[in-house]
Structure 1
Amino acid sequence: MNKVGVIGWPVTHSISPVMHNAAFSALGLNDWSYELAPVPPDIVRQSLRILRDEGGFIGVNVTVPLKEAVMPFVLPDERARAVGAVNTIDFRSNVGTNTDVAGFIDDLTSLHVPLRDKTVVVLGAGGAARAAVYGLAREGSRVLVVNRTLEKANVMLADLAISAGIFDVNTCTLDEAVEQSPSLIVNTTPVGMWPNVDESPWINGVAFP
């Protein structure tokens, strides 16, 4: 059996197994399975080893809040190094890559969302935010980053400047972001995730673009 899955914390709400196992079935890949693998942030290294050596996993997807945390324990490819985050690990080679950028930009493109010269607000400064900022900046968007901890946002932007040559991205407060009348808001924070699905990181009463 070829076993793959998704790691994160929390991860029990994820519907990834439903989607992937349905795809495996539709493709006749009956010797493949996709499972949830909860991994606390404080035992990432040990958990990766156990999944690979004892759990029988040949690879995993990585979700919040582990996309940056797994970086020291894999061999990141060029895209992962540029973004500073990993969302896919192949245990057979221990290579970590990042498909978030392509998936995110491809979705926006397929929906005909204009990006070049448009103001886009990215909420958050974690691994998913890194991919969003990287992709949007390369598409020519004017990107503003809003994060509860300004220092973390500045660290992210400094990292992206070094690793990817991305310089024209600024941080701001949520109120300042609203004043810029963005054409797109990208929420990369856990706010609004299960079980608090009615919560929003945006300002109450302020219309979305």
Structure 2
Amino acid sequence: MPPRATEARRAAVLGSPIGHSLSPALHRAAYAELGLSNWSYDRFEVDESALPGFLEKLGPEWAGLSITMPLKRAVIPLLDEISETAASVDAVNTVVFAEGGRRLGDNTDIPGMVAALREHGIAQVSSAAILGAGATASSALAALTRVCTGEIVAYVRSEARAAEMRQWGKRLDVDLRTADWSQAQQALSAPLVIATTPAGATDALADAVPERPTALFDVLYDPWPTELAARWSMFGGAVISGLDLLVHQAVHQVTLMTGRAVAVDVIRDAGEKALRGRVS
């Protein structure tokens, strides 16, 4: 049963570093829209060593947690149950506290990616490329199982990362090939390119954007646009940003934590306003 609007409930985002997180702005906007006046949402700087103690101190007023790096895998042993979606990539970005204090883990990054792609008219592609490796790349790979009908190529910087991605490919039953980062320019001709790398990592690729690019999903949102995204857009290609991902995964999180649905535009407006505030 969804919580009543008069119940005092708490939620928060955990990670390290956490000061940059837009999650408080997004979730607070959702609570205001839904009339959940007694709900609060905060941010806490928590690393792997502090996570067990933090969870143990939480009282019955807690409804849920957003989990960001470096905790998405560290939190799993501390949970009572995780969803099939989270288990598929060994990454949890949402914890919901159920009856009796049970800790349930889920992953809204994967459906968030799929929803962001579909919002931009991308429901199916014949092949795709992933730039980078790690937790976000594995979530991108899982999202592509719902979108891509053919080969996926992951461009990575080391053989160790390549081996990890191949393992994820086998686990997700995906037609995955890995290639060295030195060949990353080849990725830009794919029908869909998903960049999962840190800020600045793809800047050198901007000059290699083809004259008629297709679709780029760059998971960064601050600073924005990245040099790659700016060049891509200048040449008329479709660009999906990290804010799109953040918005759609937050919509799913709000529903999981509150039992109520919030409009995508409410979350997006809050995110855009928060980002404008950072540059003003």
Name the TM-score class by shorter chain. Answer: 0.7 to 0.9
Q: Deviations over 1:181-201 (max 9, x none)?
A: 223332223x12xxxxxx243
Q: Given the alignment of the two structures, is residue 176 of structure 1 paired with residue 153 of structure 2, yes or no?
A: no
User: For 2:169 and 2:191, how far apart are their aligned partners in 1?
Assistant: 23
C-alpha displacement of 1:38: 1.6
C-alpha displacement of 1:143: 1.7
C-alpha displacement of 1:136: 0.5
TM-score between the two structures when normalised by the length of structure 2 = 0.63
Q: Given the alignment of the two structures, is residue 49 of structure 1 paired with residue 51 of structure 2, yes or no?
A: no
Larger radius of gyration: 2
User: For 1:96 and 1:77, how far apart are their aligned partners in 2?
Assistant: 6
Which consecutive residues of structure 1, in runs of 5 or more, have no partner in the other structure? 193-198
SS in 1 for 2:208: coil
C-alpha displacement of 1:41: 3.2
User: For 1:117 and 1:30, how far apart are their aligned partners in 2?
Assistant: 46
TM-score between the two structures when normalised by the length of structure 1 = 0.82
Q: Provide closer, same or farther for how the CA distance between residues 98 and 153 of structure 1 changes in structure 2, counting only shifts above 3 A.
A: farther
Count the aligned residue pairs.
197
User: For 2:115 and 2:94, how far apart are their aligned partners in 1?
Assistant: 18
One-letter code aligned to 1:95: L
Question: Pairwise mapping of residues 35-184 of structure 1 onto structure 2 (< 5 A)?
Answer: 35-50=42-57, 52-53=58-59, 57-74=62-79, 75-92=81-98, 93-113=102-122, 115-118=124-127, 120-139=128-147, 140-162=149-171, 164=172, 166-180=173-187, 181-184=189-192
Aligned residue number for residue 196 of structure 1: none
One-letter code aligned to 2:157: R
Which consecutive residues of structure 2, in runs of 5 or more, have no partner in the other structure? 1-7, 210-231, 238-280
Aligned residue number for residue 206 of structure 1: 208
User: For 1:39 and 1:124, how far apart are their aligned partners in 2?
Assistant: 25
User: For 2:50 and 2:194, how far apart are their aligned partners in 1?
Assistant: 29
One-letter code aligned to 2:122: V
RMSD: 2.3
One-letter code aligned to 2:55: L
Q: Deviations over 1:110-140 (max 9, x none)?
A: 101264213x222332222211101113322
CA contact (8 A) 2:131 2:196 kept: yes
C-alpha displacement of 1:202: 4.5
User: For 1:153 and 1:68, how far apart are their aligned partners in 2?
Assistant: 19
SS in 2 for 1:58: strand
SS in 2 for 1:14: coil
CA contact (8 A) 2:86 2:107 kept: yes
C-alpha displacement of 1:76: 1.3
C-alpha displacement of 1:159: 4.1
Question: Pairwise mapping of residues 180-195 of structure 1 onto structure 2 (< 5 A)?
Answer: 180=187, 181-189=189-197, 191-192=198-199
User: For 2:15 and 2:150, how far apart are their aligned partners in 1?
Assistant: 30
C-alpha displacement of 1:102: 0.9
